[in-house]
Amino acid sequence: WKNEIMGRVERELWTTNISAFAGSFGREPSEDSLQAQYKAITERNVKITRVFIYKKEDTVDIDRLPELMRKQLKLGIKVRVIDYDRFHYYDEEQTATENFNNGIGGEDFMILDGKFLYITKTNKEKTSVKECTFISDTERLKTAKTFKDTIQNFSSRVTISNVDDFMNIPEGEGEKE
């Protein structure tokens, strides 16, 4: 399914990537997934941005992320990071991340070409996929795009030179891509 999604993206894929679920697309070191993304980038000039949402206390994930992000950066994937606690923020209007998640249908989602949403829901323990939804609902897409902009502002840009120290990149660093 991952290769099929990448084969259908025409211009841009923007996605969150939650630490609690290692099987999330882009979180696993799958060569097939990486090659599908590389093919989309090199053959169709698709822009891919992946925002890794990590938990400071998940040392196993923290230890493996630099190598995983390095591989993606080398393929031309734009990588950003945000701490899970920061991801669950309140803005000046006290709009919780949960309101965005409810409007989208989940916190692990992809926006494809600005026209489609791919939402992954996990079980309560976040150990396996419970449901995946591929939709083009206008209201949910509008909510997802607004949340994307917010995440972009709060997340930090990862580069080859700062990947090993990704947890210490100042918030919003490298905002202009």
* CA–CA dist 164, 177 (Å, integer): 19
The predicted structure's pLDDT at residue 91: 57
Q: β-strand 116-122 against 12-18: which pairing, if any? A: unpaired
**Which residue in this structure is represented by tokens 């976040």?**
126
SS3 content of the chain, % helix, strand, coil (to 5): 40, 25, 35
Give tens-digit pLDDT for 125-138: 766 777 888 889 99
Centre a 10 Å sphere on the Cβ of residue 8 and count the other Cβ atoms it contains. 13
The answer to whether residues 115 and 136 touch, using CB atoms and an 8 Å cutoff, is yes
The predicted structure's pLDDT at residue 50: 94
The predicted structure's pLDDT at residue 49: 96
CA angle 122–31–164, rounded 5-degree value? 80
**Which residue in this structure is represented by tokens 């006290």?**
94
The predicted structure's pLDDT at residue 84: 84
Half-sphere exposure of 100 toward its Cβ, with a 13 Å CA cutoff? 22
**Within the chain, which residues score under 70 in pLDDT?**
1-2, 19-26, 28-29, 89-98, 126-127, 173-177
Centre a 10 Å sphere on the Cβ of residue 14 and count the other Cβ atoms it contains. 22
The two structure tokens encoding residue 2: 């991952």
**Which residue in this structure is represented by tokens 């607004």?**
146
The predicted structure's pLDDT at residue 51: 94
**Alpha carbon separation from 123 to 26, 77, 109 (Å, rounded):** 19, 28, 15
